[in-house]
Amino acid sequence: MRLALAAAFLVLAVPALAQPVPPLPPSITVSGEGSVSAKPDMATLSSGVVTEAKTAGDALAANSKAMETLLASFKSSGIEDKDLSTSGFSVQPKYDYQPNRTGDPRIIGYTVTNTLSVKIRDLSKLGTILDKAVTDGSNQINGLSFDIDKKAPLQDEARKEAFADAKRKAEIYAEAAGVKLGKLRDLSEQGGGFIPPRPMVMRPQMAAKADSVPVAEGEQDVQINITATWEIAP
């Protein structure tokens, strides 16, 4: 009796499992892009000190003293502790590659490099801060990049533009095909981005010639890219 019931259940279940999935209605899939421009309100400076000496200890001691002066310089310019961070530190031997008796290069000294990442939130002081940093001992400036502190409102505006761009394209295709758009089936964001200008690299000797280094921050672009799918109305 139990075997008969099990067999009857399988007979009833198989047709239900075998029911075909209804096909999705035809659709139009397009991409959309939104972009909003704004002036930056902050900058990030990579600045540091390079020292050389016969021994690693002497090079490190000289570098540490110079970095203390540079840190004090930034703080006196109004930079807060939270906006100062060490971004690189290295101790490297210097070699004389003229072969010695064993044929190997010999160490003739050491180079110590210590680099700071400095966030500058008041761009009106940027030129003065750069000049003061060089005057107070920074002999390495690797780059200067601009940024926008609060991007969320700009990203939201870019999202609206991206959706409007996608819908405009979908309507054009629908009109060309002689159909009408139905409901929105799918929407995804591929990940927008903030497109900064190329970082600026300066030579300290050039910066030192000016009382206040001239800097042009330009504008930044915030972009959002989406993919959207609309069903074709029946």
| In the block, residue with structure tokens 């090079």 | 59
Find the largest Cα–Cα distance for the chain: 102
Coil vs helix vs strand at 175:
helix
What per-residue string of b and e applies to 128-141 under the rule 16 or more CB within 10 Å gives b?
A: ebbbbbbebbbbbb
Fold classified for 42-147: Alpha-Beta Plaits (3.30.70)
**Numbers of helices and strands, H then E, in the chain:** 5, 8
d(CA 231, CA 59) in angstroms, rounded, equals 69
Q: Comparing 24-40+149-234 with 42-147, is the CATH topology the same?
A: no
pLDDT at 213: 64
pLDDT at 16: 52
d(CA 223, CA 210) in angstroms, rounded, equals 36
CATH class of the domain whose range is 24-40+149-234: alpha beta
Let me know if 206 is exposed, middle or buried by CB neighbors in 10 A (0-12, 13-18, 19+).
exposed
- The rounded average pLDDT for each run of 10 residues, N- to C-terminus, in the chain (234 residues) is 46 56 89 94 95 96 96 95 95 84 81 96 92 93 90 94 97 96 95 53 44 70 95 92
d(CA 125, CA 130) in angstroms, rounded, equals 9
What does residue 103 show for φ and ψ, rounded to 5 degrees?
Answer: 85, 0
pLDDT at 218: 79
CB neighbour list of residue 67: distance below 8 Å, 6 or more residues apart: 48, 49, 114, 116
Q: 112 near 90, Cβ under 8 Å?
A: yes
Euclidean distance between the first and the last CA atom of the chain, given in angstroms as a whole number:
51
What residues does each domain of the chain span? 24-40+149-234, 42-147
Q: 65 near 74, Cβ under 8 Å?
A: no
Query: Residue 10, Cβ neighbours under 10 Å: how many?
Result: 9
pLDDT at 22: 80
